[in-house]
Structure 1
Amino acid sequence: MRLICLTISTFFLIQICDAQKLTEILSRPTDRSVTLSVLFDEVVDCEVEYGTSPATLDKSISVKRSKPDTPVVFELDGLQADNGYFYRTLYKPPAKPTFTQGEIHRFHTQRNPGSAFIFCIEADEHLYDKKGVSSLYQRCLENQAKDSADFMISLGDTFGDDHTPLETSSEDMKALHLDYRQYLGRVCHSMPFFFCLGTHEGESGYWLDQTPPNNIGVFGTLWRKFYYPNPAPNHFYSGNMIAEEHGMGLPKKLLCIYLGRRSFCSARCIS
């Protein structure tokens, strides 16, 4: 069953990438910055322009060279709190002289205390097993996009596969996490993405202790962090400050977000 699910998932990825070589996912918004993770399926040179109006993208981040299926991360900083911003990605093959302009997307920095804001919560897509239906999930994402929310929080059971824990390899975990870029990239280009672990991500303490570093806990943590930048503790976010072994570093899976007069905290309750 696991191999069948991965094959189906890869098929969907190929179909989407033929039509769209680029996925953009925002994350880690603060009162003065936001993170943009850009992914291409080929080698390109890319840069980002941003500003307070679609007609005035007066800030830019210099060119970075991407590798296939390896995210390029841009930090859009120097922003003002409680402000709307727009951005676009420009890209070209290294041998070409001119850049292609991507679509213009939007985001909003932390709103002032007392201000109203909209956010979306999703959970339990389970696209990697028999319970998931990709067409239904795409419909859900379309509905979320209509909300023009400030951010999205996923409560998990999203990327992982702990149903065959002793057989799932690092490459399997890479495929599962990479596959979701096609879905989240449809809406999270304008809705920063926060991820909280579900019960089936495989990153529990039990699996982390099984034959490390060759286990689904280590594989899942590394590939999740690779493809989806989650907040680390800093001036804006609170979170787990204990680094884990085997190259995982700060796991970035426990966090607390303060927005307006509200706080959003995640906790890993399963050891």
Structure 2
Amino acid sequence: MMRTRRPIVCLAFTFLLAALVAAQDTATEARGGNAASDGTANEAPDDISLMLGRPAAHSVTLSVLSTIPGQACAEYGVEHGTEDHSTEQFALPAATPVEVRLDGLQPDTRYTYRLRWRAEGETAFTDGGGHSFHTGRPPGSAFTFALQGDSHPERKQQFDPALYAQTLSAVAGQRPDFYLTIGDDFSVDTLRTVTREAVESIYLNQRRLLGLVGCTAPVFLVNGNHEQAARYNLDGTADNMAVWAQNCRNRYFPQPAPDDFYTGDLEPVEHIGLLRDYYAWTWGDALFVVIDPYWHSPQPVDNVHGSREKGARDLWDATLGDEQYRWLAQTLEQSRAAYTFVFAHHVLGTGRGGIETAGLYEWGGHDRRGADLFAIKRPTWPMPIHQLMARNGVTIFFQGHDHLFAHQVLDGVVYQTLPQPADPNYALNNVQAYRSGETRPNSGYVSVSVGSERVKVEYVREYLPEDEAGDRRSGEVAFSYTVPANDL
């Protein structure tokens, strides 16, 4: 089965290929690669990048990034109507994202918008192309969202810039309500010299790339191990890779903080403020929950920065932490949504496999020898994370990290591992870690259609044009399944 493809063009597209090529060389001299050692990316041509975030019932946030100084305003209105609303004119400093809130919106409505801008010193405004977004859905409203696995732009053997652009454009053409990345999209691990400028260039390039879909579908980020946005990296100073990374995430991508639409992490961190690392919201008949162990574990959860080595670790120290666990339990237990989707980079934030590791440590309560140590190691927690999800009817747990598509089920919870979006080798990585379920090789994205009676999950393949042959066709649905709604 093939999906219908609808072309979408964003303002960022005019300089996309330069940014895509730069993304492979950005901020890194990859081990065995040839990027500049100081982490400086190639400069892209002057243009504007748009990124939507924090969608709600009555508002959405638009982040505007220009490579040259100027002024702009955003005009917006109900789709098929007139763009009869406008923000006030705002200044666009060069290379500094500006967030503009489009508010006073109607719920459950698709809006179109366009940016009008002019360069500093000019008098006439230029109209940008039109884009659209959808406001928060009420129960009973059908919708679609989409996700990608680890993009790893720093790994040339796993990332082709043209294929990434193709995948993101294909997603945008489906007009999902929003798009999630699952982590390892902003790796700092191959940086030879870690500086604020080098870290920022990584986020700047990925911002331009994700703008292909982010101009029309708000983007939500999940933290991964290679971002090194992690508690163990903190040293009490502002000049710190974890601080730089998290501030870049929040600067270039409008991520949720607790308000009247979202719940999440309320604890500020010095030199950052609110992390915006774990959060939840309800959309239509579904509850969405993003969790993060990296900011709440006292030791490295996976690799130590600059190395793939993990060293001797006690994985009982890899944790969501008490506060995040209490929030997760309360969020799941109080929800009356027909579907619940939970997102994390990986079970425990490390390891390989899906349900194969779901019985371990705080996720399942046992150590690797099979001893049940949960009551000793987590004395204030009523149950392990997997049991908490199963008891509260979690529909799908989405993860990445393993660089393949894998579908498994444990105790009624689907464990869905996400494929890479731009692997030109179309590899089936780490398949040996999956002893059951259905697996498929890279590359592509996952689309989830949410209806009143069931959700439908589709793995949509993407191939470079020169690699298409026989049944290898972009838009092909390589695997699909449905999950019924919970009985409320």
TM-score, scaled to structure 2: 0.52
Provide structure 1 residue ranges, at least 5 long, that are not aligned to the other structure. none
Identity of aligned residues (%): 33
Aligned position for 1:177: 203
Which structure has more relative contact order (CA 8 Å, sep 6+)? It is: 1
Please state if 1:10 is matched with 2:37.
no
Amino acid at match of 2:162: S
Counterpart secondary structure, 1:203: coil
Q: Find the aligned partners of 1:83 and 1:145 in 2 and give their Cα distance.
A: 18
Aligned position for 1:133: 160
Please report how far the alpha carbon of residue 263 of structure 1 lies from its aligned counterpart in structure 2 after TM superposition. 1.0
Amino acid at match of 1:263: L
Please state if 1:253 is matched with 2:277.
yes
Q: Find the aligned partners of 1:185 and 1:136 in 2 and give their Cα distance.
A: 15
Deviations 1:64-121 (A, max 9, x none): 1111110121100000110111110000123222110001110110112021100011
Deviations 1:164-193 (A, max 9, x none): 58x311111110011112211112111011
Aligned position for 2:133: 107
Please report how far the alpha carbon of residue 54 of structure 1 lies from its aligned counterpart in structure 2 after TM superposition. 5.3
- After superposition, the Cα gap between the structure-2 partners of 1:103 and 1:6, relative to the gap in structure 1 and judged at 3 Å, is farther
Correspondences of 1:213-224 after superposition (within 5 Å):
213-224=238-249
Please report how far the alpha carbon of residue 146 of structure 1 lies from its aligned counterpart in structure 2 after TM superposition. 2.3
Q: Find the aligned partners of 1:26 and 1:41 in 2 and give their Cα distance.
A: 18
Counterpart secondary structure, 2:242: helix
Cα contact 1:54–1:104 (8 A) shared by 2? no
Correspondences of 1:19-58 after superposition (within 5 Å):
21-53=47-79, 56-58=82-84
Please state if 1:121 is matched with 2:147.
yes
Aligned position for 2:267: 242
Rg: which structure is higher? Answer: 2
Aligned position for 1:202: 228
Pairs aligned (count): 263
Aligned position for 2:106: 80
Counterpart secondary structure, 2:254: coil
From 36, 50, 59, the equivalent of 2:85 is 59
Amino acid at match of 1:147: Q
From 152, 176, 184, the equivalent of 2:179 is 152
Please state if 1:233 is matched with 2:258.
yes
Deviations 1:225-248 (A, max 9, x none): 1111101000000110000002x0
Moved more, 199-208 or 154-163: 154-163
Aligned position for 2:481: none
Q: Find the aligned partners of 1:252 and 1:5 in 2 and give their Cα distance.
A: 31
Amino acid at match of 1:46: A
Q: Find the aligned partners of 1:48 and 1:181 in 2 and give their Cα distance.
A: 19
Following TM superposition, where does structure 1 have runs of at least 4 consecutive aligned residues deviating by more than 3 angstroms? 3-9
Cα contact 2:203–2:252 (8 A) shared by 1? yes
Counterpart secondary structure, 2:214: coil
Amino acid at match of 2:182: L
Cα contact 2:70–2:119 (8 A) shared by 1? yes
Counterpart secondary structure, 2:245: helix
Please report how far the alpha carbon of residue 55 of structure 1 lies from its aligned counterpart in structure 2 after TM superposition. 5.1
Cα contact 2:40–2:198 (8 A) shared by 1? no
Q: Find the aligned partners of 2:269 and 2:189 in 1 and give their Cα distance.
A: 20
Amino acid at match of 1:269: P
Q: Find the aligned partners of 2:259 and 2:35 in 1 and give their Cα distance.
A: 38
Q: Find the aligned partners of 1:220 and 1:141 in 2 and give their Cα distance.
A: 23
Counterpart secondary structure, 2:94: coil
Cα contact 2:154–2:190 (8 A) shared by 1? no
